[in-house]
A and B are shown apart, each in its own frame.
Chain A
């Protein structure tokens, strides 16, 4: 493999492109999974499940490219921050992908209108979580710390929608209405979205690191 400077820049661009593709799939799938839950749309669930394999391959490609760059090119400064941030945040994207896959599999097992009483909240949760992933991805790809910073403020929407689903399900169980039969699945789905929001925040932390060299308010690389 040629190791010239041009080859190096190409490898960085390829890493960026692969990361962008994985990030796009992750956020699109999160939003689509919400629609699948609400509409009991098995076909959409199927598409999400199929795309998951592509995500797994992308994840391995990203990890491999990061390792190769670190080994063969020993990147520094903004390149080092990019490769490090990509290597770490690909785990967040991976977890987001796995949880979305689980949600899609739950859709396949649920009767069509099982989530109807909380449909509005599930949409709110899925869209809120997808918006967060998209926003973190924008911050990451543009090395834009201000854009990434916005992700944290978006989490309240997801958290409160999750609490509302939980309250609604608890009430349903008490009243033993239709939602009670599928309470475990619905709560799991809601919890997944809430956790996807948490991973989006972790992703945003790495986006900020890429832009500034500071992770969670701490300057990395100083050994402190």
Chain B
């Protein structure tokens, strides 16, 4: 049912200001289709801010100004309706945030907002999406239970299912496993790798081993600048910039 996608994202000369604060400085970065791009760097370096630019979540932040060009495939995201953009570019957050609805309703939430659909179609999406995130067998007998009744790891997979149900092209993940135990973490990591076959995945993570395990390319940010970007294995074995080296080896500051 869900089409395979191969839509890259890109940012070109992006500058972002929160009032007077220059939070992103001349960022240019390609996030290739069907790959996982990891954004790493110390807190406050701008990596989450950049992630939020990709589906225009900063638009409503007061005093926030974004300059430069952000593209989804060949389109400038400014030319895409924000609701449509957020359907095409899904987001998974650090803390699982299922809606206070049933598991079933959580999954079909986005679809219902797109208009009426026959129940059989919704049923099909619920099953196929929950299967994709490896949750079907665990919840198939309690689809009417609250999404909040699930464990943290299950909730996070439910949130990924909710994002996937509307068939996005890109999936943004903001520290998606930092609140999860190692087993749930590895399930989410495997899922991210799996999803990258037909989605473009961008993940913000503080866990460098996670970036090393699952991403194809890694971008290191510091003080609002993109210091270095490269194939993940190369960046972790042989970073080219001293700042990256110092960050990776824990000799910062």
Interface-lining segment among B142-150, B151-159, B230-238? B230-238
Interface-lining segment among A19-27, A39-47, A76-84, A95-103? A76-84
B26 in the interface (beta carbon within 8 A): no
CB distance from A160 to the nearest CB of B (A): 36
Complex contact B249–A75 (CB within 8 A): yes
Map CB proximity to A onto B234-253 as digits: 1 under 8 Å, 0 otherwise.
10111100001100111100
Complex contact A219–B234 (CB within 8 A): yes
Complex contact B237–A221 (CB within 8 A): yes
Count how many chain A residues have C-beta atoms less than 8 Å from C-beta atoms of the other chain: 19
Interface bin, chain B: 10 to 19
CB distance from A1 to the nearest CB of B (A): 17
CB distance from A9 to the nearest CB of B (A): 8
Complex contact A5–B231 (CB within 8 A): no
Complex contact A80–B231 (CB within 8 A): no
Complex contact A221–B250 (CB within 8 A): no
Complex contact B249–A221 (CB within 8 A): no
Complex contact B250–A223 (CB within 8 A): no
CB distance from A154 to the nearest CB of B (A): 27
Complex contact A81–B250 (CB within 8 A): no
B208 in the interface (beta carbon within 8 A): yes
Smallest CB gap from A222: residue in B: B233
**Across the interface, which residues of A come within 8 angstroms of B237, CB to CB?**
77, 80-81, 213, 219-222
B120 in the interface (beta carbon within 8 A): no
Complex contact A5–B233 (CB within 8 A): no
Complex contact B238–A213 (CB within 8 A): yes
Q: A76 vs B248: C-alpha distance in the bound complex, in angstroms? A: 6
Q: A37 vs B231: C-alpha distance in the bound complex, in angstroms? A: 53
Smallest CB gap from A214: residue in B: B238
**Across the interface, which residues of B come within 8 angstroms of A213, CB to CB?**
234, 237-238
Q: A78 vs B233: C-alpha distance in the bound complex, in angstroms? A: 13
**Across the interface, which residues of B come within 8 angstroms of A79, CB to CB?**
249
Q: A199 vs B237: C-alpha distance in the bound complex, in angstroms? A: 24
**Across the interface, which residues of B come within 8 angstroms of A219, CB to CB?**
234, 237-238
B209 in the interface (beta carbon within 8 A): yes
**Across the interface, which residues of A come within 8 angstroms of B251, CB to CB?**
9
Smallest CB gap from B250: residue in A: A5
**Across the interface, which residues of A come within 8 angstroms of B236, CB to CB?**
76-77, 80, 221
Q: Given A5-B250, A8-B250, are A77 and B238 neighbors across the interface (CB < 8 Å)?
A: yes
* CB<8 Å pairs between A and B, sample of 29: A5-B250, A9-B251, A74-B208, A76-B208, A76-B212, A76-B236, A76-B248, A77-B237, A77-B238, A77-B244, A77-B245, A77-B248, A78-B249, A80-B237, A81-B237, A81-B238, A212-B238, A213-B238, A214-B238, A219-B234, A219-B237, A220-B237, A221-B233, A221-B234, A221-B236, A221-B237, A222-B231, A222-B233, A222-B237
Chain B residues within CB distance 8 Å of chain A = 208-209, 212, 231, 233-234, 236-239, 244-245, 248-251
